[in-house]
Amino acid sequence: MEFVDSLGGGQAGTAVRSVRPAPGITTARPVPPTVASAVAASVSADPRTAGVRHFEGGQVVWRVQCGDLISRERAVTVFVEDDEVVVVSPPGETARLTSGQLGQLRAALNEAATMAER
C-alpha cells in the first residue's frame, strides 16, 4: 500500500512512501475473482462509481478524486476490510468535494456497505 505525503521534506511537491502494517495488524483480505465478479454483478450498478471502482490486488477499491483546501488534486479511498468499510482521506488533509464527487463518494460508500454486510 502506498500513501502520498503532501509535505516532501520542506520542498514543494509530493513524496511517495510505502507503508507496512505494524506487527499484529492484519491487512485487508483480497477478494477472490469469483467473489469479486459476483459482488460487482449483485451490487446495483451506479454509474457514478463506474470510473472510481477498481480491483487492486484482488480487492475492490473505490478512489474518488477531490481537491484540498489549496486546490491540489487528492483522492478519498474506500475499501472493505473484513465486515467494515474503511475510508481513507488525503493524508493530513481536508477533502474538498464538488457535488458530483460527493455523489461518487456516496455511491461508493453504499456499494462498500453492501459488500461489508455479506
Which residues are CB-neighbours of 17 under 8 A, at least 6 positions away? 2, 3, 5
Residue 74: per-residue pLDDT: 93
Look at residue 36 and tell me whether its pLDDT is greater than 70. Answer: no
The pLDDT tens digits of the residues spanning 51-96 come to 889 999 889 999 999 998 888 999 999 999 988 999 999 887 788 9
Please report where in the chains the cell 507503508 appears, as a residue. Answer: 19
Convert 30-56 to b/e letters by CB count within 10 Å (16 or more is b).
ebeeeebeebeeebeebebbeebbeee
The percentage of the chain sitting over the pLDDT mark of 70, rounded to a whole number, equals: 62
In this structure, what is the dihedral angle of CA atoms 74, 19, 78, 70, given to the nearest 10 degrees? -20
What mean pLDDT is predicted for residues 88-111? 91
Residue 22: per-residue pLDDT: 42
Report the run of H or E that residue 105 belongs to, with start and end: helix 99-116
| All three cell numbers of 20 | 507496512
What mean pLDDT is predicted for residues 85-108? 91
CB 107 within 8 A of CB 46: yes
Q: Is the pTM of this model over 0.95?
A: no
Residue 37: per-residue pLDDT: 53
